[in-house]
Structure 1
Amino acid sequence: MTIQFGTDGWRAVISDTFTFNNLRLVSQAVADAVNSSDWLGAPHQNHDARKVLVGFDTRFLSDRYAVEVARVLAANGLQVLLTHTDVPTPVLSHAVLQQRAAAGVMVTASHNAPRYNGIKLKAAYGGSALPDQCRAVEVCLNDNENRARGPNLMDYDQAVAAGRIVRFNPMQPYADALRSLLDFDQIAAHPGRLHVVADAMYGSGRGYIKALLGGSGVEVLEIRGEMNPGFGGVHPEPILKYLGPTASAIASGHGDVGLITDGDADRIGAMDGRGQFVDPHKIMALCLRYLVERKHRSGAVVKTVSTTRMLNRQALQYKLALHETPVGFNHIADRMLSEQVLIGGEESGGISIHGHIPEGDGIMMGLLLLELMAAYGAPLHELVEQLLADFGPALYERADLRLARPVSRAALTRELCEQAPQQIGALRMREVQSLDGVKYLMEDDSWLLIRASGTEPVLRVYAEARTEQDLAALLDYGKLVAQRA
């Protein structure tokens, strides 16, 4: 079967594999899995086992695809709440928890190129579906194919008339939750009027930051907030090379800070008032410092193996437990469900905190960044400089290197462990780790992580060092590995 249902759902090229027919097949498998007796775990037996929420982003045909998902789910006896317009993924996830639903289906391809679309499957706890739940959908998908069983389908107008599909707006409960979680009074009390550039990158986070800051005294300029399924010709991903419009708006005097969300607003990036990019590593470290030093919060710190070691140094100083996980927010969510996690996040910008859903939320994290700026009464660039003085320096870079041919992840891991160098450039090896790919941890806390993609012939190389020279040496070693692979 050409449909590959992975750990967070399904993603494919529109009109190639992502077609209406294939979407109906996947939706039928989701309905079959949700209708099974073991879908809801014991902690969520008070949820409505027949209720499923469906949302969608701003991509080409996402609204139409969402209607098709709803028609299939309704035809299988499920009560469907379908968002009235495009919504951020974390808003749908919050609604799943708030509505005590069995599951959520979000039509989105997140930060990927405009030619892609997909679905993310959400569990009753308001985060990505568990691996067992994703496997259950995959089993149903394959079983239906083997039996040549097509999808059930209900007419949309009939489903609405029968109350099987209900349109709803999840904005207000989400806004209420953020007002309980964050200190909007602190934001409003900022010494001087905050000017914010909210860059939605044409994604479904559009309008949210501006609406949530209404009445706070913060002046918000939203850019790239209109509907544009082509995303202006770039990936809707908050990384520096796609943030020219943000920098231009700040340079024109419109912002003390830029808050950038990706295509479905589960990731965050930022830009200071000087037009310097503030990556998720620094955002997470700034927020951890604020939560501990100013808010006096405690709990574990959870980060993926590809995320800055500034967090390790902070956790050591603050006497907090620290856990490293494989790449993917679902691993962080597992920890958030099993213990008190103060903050959890990954290098790509998916971050959440205690008291919120176990899901990356770019909108919430952007507002938390404004709160800490107001609390410290300092511009973002000064806060970053102080952070690096205390817990850095930390220079970071990632490179995705295309290989001549696919490579076995297991074989590559074994080879990199067995042939680990004693030294890279001037950096001496301290430890070799293989939690996800292979990570070379150096004596000065610099590191190099090499991971093979599971879906394409690409080697992902991540590095963090204290100097530009050391960073270049680590990246060069990663490129050498790619050439040999």
Structure 2
Amino acid sequence: MTWRKLANQWLAFDQLEASLKSELEQIQTNEKALEDAFHQPLTFGTGGMRGILGPGTNRMNIYTVRKAAKGLARYLESFGQTFKERGVVVAYDSRHMSKEFAVETARVLGKHGIKTYVFTSLRPTPELSFAVRYLKTAAGVMITASHNPPEYNGYKVYNETGGQLPPEQADLMIEKVNEIENELTIEVMEQETLEEQGLLQWIDEDLDQAYLAELKSISLNTDVISNQADELNIVFTPLHGTAGELVPQGLKQLGFNQVHLVEEQMVTDPEFSTVQSPNPEEHQAFEYAIGLGEEVGADILIATDPDADRLGVAAKNEAGKYQVLTGNQLGALMLDYILANTKEIPSKGMMIKTIVTSELGRAVAEHYGIQSMDVLTGFKFISEKIEEFEQTGSHTFIFGYEESYGYLINDFSRDKDAIQSTMMACEMAAFYNNKGMTLFDALDELYERHGYHIEDLHSVKMEGIDGAKEIANLMESFRENPVKVAGNMKAEIVEDYSIGKRTYLADGREEVTNLPKANVLKVKMSDDCWYCLRPSGTEPKMKFYFGVQGETREEADRRLEQLKTAILENI
């Protein structure tokens, strides 16, 4: 059906929810806005289904949520009655319509005889992942748009292992979703009936306590926490999101006594009114934390995104000013701390990172004699490998991370976990504080030992239908003619993940990448430098990643500038 026919179908639907009907009528004469709302269905990317709230098949609303939920029901039914009877657990964050979407999911699943466990109030993504494993449900759903702007919401689906659906499973679910012709006519059960029949069960503190009990296992050095319990000054902000309860409780049970909360941002607020963006990757998100940090003399500032899967950390630099560590820097520091403080490192230990994450982590892992593995961008690929290790016994998971501020230490949850990571970051800060060092002092030691690894990310917004075409054209242009020279650096290897092929430019030799196919292009240059192009899986953006290495900071900085200039002038 064309977008125009779909729009007319929605406009003619006499039972359309009132607020959506009003919004749709307001844009019905705006052809560009109407086309954007209906030209495609929302699809699952690296972070699940995510979109702007509003009427339309390309928007997040109760009807597109019902369609996703019905697709999930049919997906579960395809595995048989026993699997279906295990049920689904649903959590949600502080965004507009999050709880409503959670209940709508239960109403659809209930119509299929599938029990739904729903949290009574907002909870973090990692606790949802944990809850799937704890309750042994067949699947999980997290209603969140993570760090996106306030006008977004999203729908992440988890499998029975607690990880997001990997490609093969996601394809099957998408197939089930696409079989549904009309999201407007999906049948649902009333909430009261669901509760009476036991198809909707509300859950809360029991799961919190079970998660907190597992969180105790994060600590590697209880002595250093005891020594620094009253010395290490911590500032924490959940950025109006879901971590406001669990992070303070987790830090308290580890023994940290000096935890200062950014009160203005402890309030759940779907507009995220105190920040330009609720994303700890953005340094402006730390404005309130820095103010409080200066007031109380904090040693470490902690910020989590709305669904608490991403962690940002700031510490004092050599100038005595608070500076936010990059995801690459914090990941390498935590990996080094974990390996240095693990009494017996497993002989088959494995660190997992993504293909756009710094090579510093690999150097750290090699220093301690453990292997490293690269996976595609998206934490579901890390989760998939953890499950594979568990099933085969081939390796022992040590640590997983991605440059976009996502880390996992212990696998009792199977998605990036900012709650776990906060505990580890604070213990690590205590360790170095006990030695009279900041996290940046520790980072300098890593650079001296392994070389100066510097990375950067450049994103270009390309919104709407025209933006999607621009992204496609840009990827095709670089595939046909990748940049091969930047300063003294020359391209040596081209990895095109859309066809799963690695090409060595010196002799034309080819080999398979052994990773799932994805719309990603990575070019490895001489001197251990690289660049990578990838359309965002969660936002209308084109992303350019850069990584360089140098024997000195000056050399690394120069190479980074040369590489960025050479690539970006071809946009």
Aligned equivalents of 2:483, 2:477: Cα separation in 1: 11
Corresponding residue for residue 527 of structure 2: 444
Cα 1:24–1:437 change in 2 (3 A) is: closer
Deviations 1:353-379 (A, max 9, x none): 354332100110111112223344243
Corresponding residue for residue 321 of structure 1: 371
Aligned equivalents of 1:213, 1:456: Cα separation in 2: 33
> 1:266 aligned to 2:309?
yes
1:77 Cα deviation after fit: 0.7
Q: Which moved more, 1:80-89 or 1:295-304?
A: 295-304
Aligned equivalents of 2:41, 2:491: Cα separation in 1: 42
Corresponding residue for residue 61 of structure 2: 19
Asked whether the equivalents of residues 3 and 10 of structure 1 are also in contact (C-alpha less than 8 Å), the reply is no
Aligned equivalents of 1:175, 1:18: Cα separation in 2: 32
Q: Which amino acid in the other structure matches residue 335 of structure 1?
A: K
Select 1:69's aligned residue among 105, 117, 130: 105
Asked whether the equivalents of residues 181 and 356 of structure 1 are also in contact (C-alpha less than 8 Å), the reply is no
Aligned equivalents of 2:90, 2:288: Cα separation in 1: 31
Q: Which moved more, 1:225-234 or 1:99-108?
A: 225-234
Q: Which amino acid in the other structure matches residue 29 of structure 1?
A: G
Corresponding residue for residue 250 of structure 2: 212
Aligned equivalents of 1:197, 1:81: Cα separation in 2: 33
Corresponding residue for residue 425 of structure 1: 487
Asked whether the equivalents of residues 533 and 543 of structure 2 are also in contact (C-alpha less than 8 Å), the reply is yes
- Runs of 5+ unmatched residues, structure 1: 40-44
Asked whether the equivalents of residues 54 and 83 of structure 1 are also in contact (C-alpha less than 8 Å), the reply is yes
> 1:153 aligned to 2:188?
yes
Corresponding residue for residue 162 of structure 1: 197
1:15 Cα deviation after fit: 1.6
Residues 81-480 of structure 1 aligned to structure 2 (within 5 Å): 81-145=117-181, 150-169=185-204, 170-183=207-220, 185-186=222-223, 188-191=225-228, 193-215=231-253, 216-223=255-262, 224-232=265-273, 233-239=275-281, 240-273=283-316, 274-295=321-342, 296-298=344-346, 299-339=349-389, 340-376=396-432, 377=434, 378-402=437-461, 406=468, 416=478, 419-435=481-497, 437-453=520-536, 458-465=541-548, 466=550, 467-480=556-569
Aligned equivalents of 2:471, 2:350: Cα separation in 1: 30
Aligned equivalents of 1:261, 1:454: Cα separation in 2: 20
Q: Which moved more, 1:152-161 or 1:377-386?
A: 377-386
Q: Which amino acid in the other structure matches residue 15 of structure 1?
A: G
Cα 1:286–1:155 change in 2 (3 A) is: same
Cα 1:84–1:392 change in 2 (3 A) is: farther
Corresponding residue for residue 30 of structure 2: none
Question: Which one has the largest radius of gyration?
Answer: 2
Asked whether the equivalents of residues 76 and 152 of structure 1 are also in contact (C-alpha less than 8 Å), the reply is no
Q: Which moved more, 1:417-426 or 1:276-285?
A: 417-426
Corresponding residue for residue 42 of structure 1: none
Asked whether the equivalents of residues 417 and 432 of structure 1 are also in contact (C-alpha less than 8 Å), the reply is no
1:200 Cα deviation after fit: 0.6
Q: Which amino acid in the other structure matches residue 75 of structure 2?
A: A
Asked whether the equivalents of residues 49 and 154 of structure 2 are also in contact (C-alpha less than 8 Å), the reply is yes
Aligned equivalents of 2:116, 2:538: Cα separation in 1: 32
Cα 1:225–1:410 change in 2 (3 A) is: same
Aligned equivalents of 2:452, 2:355: Cα separation in 1: 18
Corresponding residue for residue 4 of structure 2: none
Aligned equivalents of 1:25, 1:407: Cα separation in 2: 27
Asked whether the equivalents of residues 128 and 359 of structure 1 are also in contact (C-alpha less than 8 Å), the reply is yes
Cα 1:362–1:437 change in 2 (3 A) is: same
Q: Which amino acid in the other structure matches residue 464 of structure 1?
A: G
Asked whether the equivalents of residues 207 and 225 of structure 1 are also in contact (C-alpha less than 8 Å), the reply is no
- Say which SS state the counterpart of residue 53 (structure 1) adopts: strand
1:412 Cα deviation after fit: 5.6
Identity %: 25
Q: Which amino acid in the other structure matches residue 213 of structure 1?
A: L
Aligned equivalents of 1:333, 1:144: Cα separation in 2: 29
Cα 1:314–1:185 change in 2 (3 A) is: closer
Aligned equivalents of 2:50, 2:232: Cα separation in 1: 38
1:459 Cα deviation after fit: 2.9
Aligned equivalents of 1:411, 1:84: Cα separation in 2: 46
Asked whether the equivalents of residues 407 and 457 of structure 1 are also in contact (C-alpha less than 8 Å), the reply is no
1:442 Cα deviation after fit: 3.1
TM-score w.r.t. the length of structure 2 is 0.77
1:344 Cα deviation after fit: 1.3
Aligned equivalents of 2:272, 2:224: Cα separation in 1: 30
Asked whether the equivalents of residues 157 and 165 of structure 2 are also in contact (C-alpha less than 8 Å), the reply is yes
Cα 1:458–1:187 change in 2 (3 A) is: same
Cα 1:396–1:157 change in 2 (3 A) is: same
1:118 Cα deviation after fit: 1.1
Q: Which moved more, 1:442-451 or 1:270-279?
A: 442-451
Q: Which amino acid in the other structure matches residue 205 of structure 1?
A: A
Deviations 1:189-233 (A, max 9, x none): 143522111121111112221111225143112221111111125
- Runs of 5+ unmatched residues, structure 2: 1-37, 390-395, 498-518, 551-555
Larger proportion of helix:
2
TM-score w.r.t. the length of structure 1 is 0.90
- Say which SS state the counterpart of residue 401 (structure 1) adopts: strand
Q: Which amino acid in the other structure matches residue 376 of structure 2?
A: P
Asked whether the equivalents of residues 195 and 220 of structure 1 are also in contact (C-alpha less than 8 Å), the reply is yes
Asked whether the equivalents of residues 189 and 374 of structure 1 are also in contact (C-alpha less than 8 Å), the reply is no
User: What is the RMSD computed on CA atoms of the aligned residues?
Assistant: 2.6
Asked whether the equivalents of residues 163 and 384 of structure 2 are also in contact (C-alpha less than 8 Å), the reply is no
Aligned equivalents of 2:538, 2:487: Cα separation in 1: 31
Asked whether the equivalents of residues 218 and 410 of structure 2 are also in contact (C-alpha less than 8 Å), the reply is no
1:117 Cα deviation after fit: 0.6
Q: Which moved more, 1:452-461 or 1:308-317?
A: 452-461
Q: Which moved more, 1:411-420 or 1:58-67?
A: 411-420
